[in-house]
Every structure is written in C-alpha cells, then in structure tokens.
Amino acid sequence: MTITSSRADARMLAPLALVFNAFTWGVSWWPFRRLEAAGLHPLWLTAITFAVAVAGLLLVRPKALGEVARTPALWVLVLAAGTTNACFNWGVTVGDVVRVVLLFYLMPLWAVLLARPLLGERIHAGAVLRIALALGGAVIVLWPKSGAGFSAFSLPDVLGVVGGFSFALNNVMLRREAKRSEPARALAMFGGGMLIALLLALAQWRSGAIGGPPLPAGGWIAGTAALAAWFVASNLALQYGAARLPAATTAVIMLTEVVFASASALLLGAGELDARTAIGGSLILAAAALAALRRG
C-alpha cells in the first residue's frame, strides 16, 4: 500500500516539477530585467549565477572536473549549454520576450539537422514536415512590417535563433554522451553557463558596449543569490520530473514555457502579440509539438 501510494505521488509530482521548471524559465526575464535596472547586465548576472552553481557542484562532486577535462565531447556541451544560457538570458532582457522565446523554439529544426551528422539519424518525411513548419513560422515572425526583407533582424532576434540552435546542440550532445556520469554532464552545462557568459561580458565590456559589474551592494547581491537558488531548484525539478515521465510527456510539458513567457510578457508590457507573430508562433510550436510527440 505504501509503495503504491509512493508511486502515485511521484506520478502526480513529476508533471508539477516540470511545470515549475518551465515556469522558472518562462518568467526569468523579469528578475533579469530588474537586476539590469540595478546595474547588473544579464551577461554578468548569468556568469555569477552559474559560478555559484559550479561551486556547489564541485563541493559535492569534485571528481566531475577531471571527467570533463578528459572528455573532449563534453567541451562541446560546455560551449552549447553556455551559449544557450547567455543568448536566452540576454535576449529576453533586451528584446521582445514573446518574439525571442518563439525564435528560441526553432530548436526542432536545428535538432533534425544536427542529429544527422552527430547521431546518424535519417531525415524522414516527418522531419521534413517539422522543418517546413519551423521555417515557415520563422519567416512569418521575422519578416518586418515594412516588407523590407530581413533588414530589421535585430540583436534579440539573433540571440533567440542562436540560443535555440545551441539548445538543440545541447540536447543532441546529452543524448550522444548519455554514458557519461550525471555530475560530469551537469558540470559541463553549469560551467558553460559561467564561462561563455563571462567571456561575452568581458568582450562587450572591453568594447564599451556594456558597463562592468556594479560595486557590491546588498540589493543585487541578494537578488543574484535568490536567482541562483531558484535556478538550482528548477534544475533539480527538471531532473526529478524527466526521470519519471516519458520523453514525449516531458517535451510537451516543457512547451508551457512559451505560455508562461508570453502571458507574463504581455501582462507586464515586455512583449507584443500581433496576428503575424501569433500565426508564425503557432507554426513553430506545432513543429516543436510534433518533435515531442515523435520521441514518445
């Protein structure tokens, strides 16, 4: 009776854990913007947040560092995860949240193209359909109202697209390196989030595009610590839920991130949803949903 009850509780908690993770990333733009207003650019904030996560992981699993250092394939994961987090956090802070998140979810397109050389997966008819849906949606979202081609392709647009591509590469590499230990993969992802954001922040700082990190102050330090704790809890929730539900269920639930991001951005004036964005976004999400259902 106790075992049955425990399993039932797990089935109930697992979806909630995934929704919590999706909610975290869907509304993360808000604390990033608040802390940017306090003088902390999202790249500095990303680097600091993931540095806290790296320090905590190394305290618990110090041997993971050696495994990452000895495994060149995990260096690709460092690059992919780091670029994903830096681009997403930067993009939703400085751009239209709805537009950036939709472009980020072009990842099923990139996943199909990357899985061919990295995993040896064939491109079948269903994959071609997903590519067509994602590309069609992207063209509709990106085509400027003036009709002047893609001349209005902005920095946040680039960050959304590159972030989605990097996330697809991140997911493909996680599948490819599934035999590696969980601490090593986690360290590669957290370490990438720290290193890539730090390198981009330093480059932007040296060019004069952004300011340096602000002087220590209770407000932004407390906010950063709280955000780091929130992200760690969200990551643990993702691992809990994903380990107990089918991959297709996990992927579909994670699409609720778009709902959380869009709703919060529209309510708080950080995004717009016109007819063209709605149509293009629907095509992109249809491609993502088909990819998720296929993994079941």
Q: pTM score > 0.75 for this model? A: yes
Q: What is the pLDDT of residues 31-59, one digit of tens each?
A: 999 999 888 999 999 999 999 889 988 99
Q: What is the dihedral of CA 251, 30, 79, 173, to 10 degrees?
A: -10
Q: What is the pLDDT of residues 13-25, one digit of tens each?
A: 888 988 998 899 8
Q: What is the pLDDT of residues 130-178, one digit of tens each?
A: 888 888 888 888 877 665 555 567 899 999 999 989 988 887 888 788 7
The DSSP element (H or E) to which 28 belongs, if any, is none
Burial 70-82 (b: 16+ CB within 10 A, else e): ebeebebbbbbbb
| pLDDT at residue 51 in the model | 93
272 has pLDDT over 80: yes
| pLDDT at residue 149 in the model | 56
